[in-house]
Amino acid sequence: MRLGRKITGGKYHKFRKKKLHAKKTQERIVILGETKSKIIKTRGGNYKPVLLTTNIANLTINGKTERAKITNVLETPQNSFFARQNRLNKGVIIETDKGKAKITNRPSQEGQVNAIILEK
């Protein structure tokens, strides 16, 4: 049978269009580079800052937070190809000017990169 048809040959019809809250949004990918961000509207009339590219991370070292410059993406547990594309996701191991660090937040959702230093 052809796709979108009943067993009798009749068509399936949508009962309504998708509402705005049910529509998918464009995938937000955060890439290593000079910092760029934008603000998007969310449900309830709120706004959310969204990162597009960044090269700065808030690095936690022994309970104190410092800003560090990201130099490279070393490995990505989700997908090995993301490391080649320099994508910044949660759980990614990055190289900073203060040493290796692991990203602990979701940069595409929060508008910043938070990371913890890895022990040597």
Domain ranges of the chain: 24-117
- The percent of residues above 70 in pLDDT, for the chain, comes to 98
109 in helix, strand or coil?
Answer: helix
Q: Identify the pLDDT of residue 87.
A: 95
The lowest-confidence range among 29-33, 34-38, 39-43 is: 39-43
DSSP E strands in 3-111: the ranges are 31-32, 36-41, 47-54, 56-61, 64-75, 93-96, 99-103
Query: What's the CATH code, domain 24-117?
Result: 3.10.290.70
The pLDDT tens digits for 96-111 are: 999 999 999 999 999 9
Alpha-carbon distance of 49 to 54, in angstroms, equals 13
Alpha-carbon distance of 42 to 47, in angstroms, equals 6
Strand 36-41 to 47-54 pairing: antiparallel
| Confidence category of residue 72, pLDDT binned at 50, 70, 90 | very high
| Confidence category of residue 120, pLDDT binned at 50, 70, 90 | low
Which among 87, 115, 93 has a CA at the least distance from the CA of 27? 87
Question: What is the gyration radius of the CA atoms in the chain, in angstroms?
Answer: 20
Q: Identify the pLDDT of residue 112.
A: 94
Tokens describing residue 92: 């990614």
Rounded to two decimals, the pTM is 0.80
The amino acid that residue 17 corresponds to is K
- Contact of 89 with 73, CB cutoff 8 Å: no
